[in-house]
Amino acid sequence: MEDVRLSAPNAKILNGERARFEVAGGNFRMIVAFDFGREIAFVKFIGTHAEYDRIDALTVALF
């Protein structure tokens, strides 16, 4: 996650594999799960701040 933190300093690290990003000028939030072993990033959620408040960021898997 250190590489994520360095590449996107405004991202919020949620745990050892997930991070939250502000996208579209801060109007939306995106949760990404990283599989560092396979070098893959999985988008798990994209939504407004209100939609984000209704989900569990550590378990959501909408995509």
For residue 24, what are the CA distances in angstroms to 10, 27, 31? 14, 6, 14
Least Cα distance to 55 among 38, 32, 31, 39 occurs for 31
What are the boundaries of each domain within the chain? 2-53
Q: Dihedral, CA atoms, 27, 39, 12, 58, nearest 10 degrees? A: 90
User: Is it the case that residue 63 has pLDDT exceeding 90?
Assistant: no
pLDDT tens track for 7-42: 999 999 999 999 999 999 999 999 999 999 999 999
By DSSP bridging, strand 18-23 and strand 12-13 are antiparallel
Cβ neighbours of 54 (radius 10 Å): 9
